[in-house]
Chain A
Amino acid sequence: MSGILVVGDGPAAHRLAERLRGHGHTGPLTVLGAEPAHHRPLLTDVVAGRLPAEAVRLPPLPDTRVSTGTVVTGIDRARHEVRARQGGTETVHSYDTLVLATGARPVVPDIVGATGGDGHLAAGVTTLRTASDCARITGETVVVLGGGPLGVETASALAARGTDTTLICAHPHPLHERLGETCAALLTETLEQAGVTMLGGRTVVRRTPDRVLLDDGTNLRADTLVLCTGAAPDVRLARAAGLRVRTGIVVDDRLRTSDPHIHALGDCAELNGRAPGGVDTAWAQADALAAILTGHATVHRPTPTVFRLRTRFADVSCVGDPADFDRPGARTVTLTDQANRRHARLALRDEHLVAAVLFGVPEAIAALGIAHRYGRPVPSDLLGLLLGPPARPAPVGSETDEDALVCLCNNVRRPALVKAWQSGARTVTALAGATRATTGCGGCGPLVARLCDDWEHEARPAPERAR
């Protein structure tokens, strides 16, 4: 059986290794990474103080040689070997199939004083990509730079732990392009109410000890400056090895690079001209590549992913592309409810959802996310779905059927949860441990909690309609 070597320490590498064994790969399996793999979406929970850093570490992989503290320095494609350095020692690892899951590297903007002479970040300045970065955020007053999801999530997490937090973004509101004007403005309002000082249309130009200077001359105290200014695919190894690279490492629909023995996936890979990044994409690719490498599938067909903002202050979710709203032939439905801070914008073609931006409508997020992902028609009473039970009786959709998919990220269906419940997993945490539901984007958390409650109240020992 041929040996598979995986380079990377993120969720993509971890999920791939796990699924390879699940699909019956019996040959040697080695993972080389700098840090122990951890669940990156939960880093902001560490920042918020809700989880200790060790808690976001991914579980150990069975039957896999995992070599942490290992920095891969080069690929010798002719000899099918990877060179690495572990501690002070040079090591060589041979492969039959090599998988690059090198992820992305934070983009550090040009801010005077943010980096030292050696190019490393100065004291009190950090990006947020690894578990060790969390510990670099210290002090009473933190300035977060960046209007993307990570900036918002980090600022929310800091505000939640009581830190004096300022979020600075170039657009008037964070996530401006993705959410659109109305929704992004709602997000700003919500974050302000959560205690975050919002400074839109600004940027940081200079870092001095304990302070930052903005482009409009404002000078703010900042014990730590957190740079959430995006990430770029880490293509260094691939480029040095002569593989085809554009924005990311170019792969085909079998997730193969320009060298048929080398695959790439996750944040470092570029498929169909796009390197979208994100854990959902990485997981889907890992699942697909495991199936391809074990002969259970031949190609990877990406399914649409749901974007969900991880902040406890607002339910924000998007599917599709913002440009889909302006394509001819689309029907749009837009709901704005300032009083209850709700917003929804949908683009539909016939009965199918093309794109959506949803704020403060968690029920709709779940139902529409599933409809979009599986190309199902949306419920005919869209208004009822968007307004939810307080305003109108909610329609009972087909989504609540017995076989319903509950956790999109981990592909957990309702029967799996029922089985886990019957086996004694009687809390959300226990169900999460048994099935992995809720451990992805967290979007199904409320649903799992509700199922848990329902079953608790139903006749014991267990819900019998589940088989």
Chain B
Amino acid sequence: MISATHYLILSLILLSLGLIGVMMRRNFITVLMSLELIFNAVNLNLIAFSYQLGDLSGQILAIFVITVAAAEAAIGLGLIIALTRLRNTVNLDEVHEMEG
């Protein structure tokens, strides 16, 4: 029998993978994918808890999260396009004009 604990462990793994990806990867597109992993870890949690509690509000929030993550991805991709037009790169290490 799969319980909420199993989902919690899976979502913790996904969250860790996402956080590590955001901090370690230098390719902006991979960073965006890692951000999606974080949001999907949250969605998994919300839906598992919602099912366990028999309460719908968690699933409603999950739908909001999916929608907002889509808008967020659109802005991320827009920034990638602006960056490639200026520097012809998607590597974050090549963007360091400001110091301190």
Q: Do A and B bind each other?
A: no
Residue ranges of B at the interface with A (Cβ–Cβ < 8 Å): none
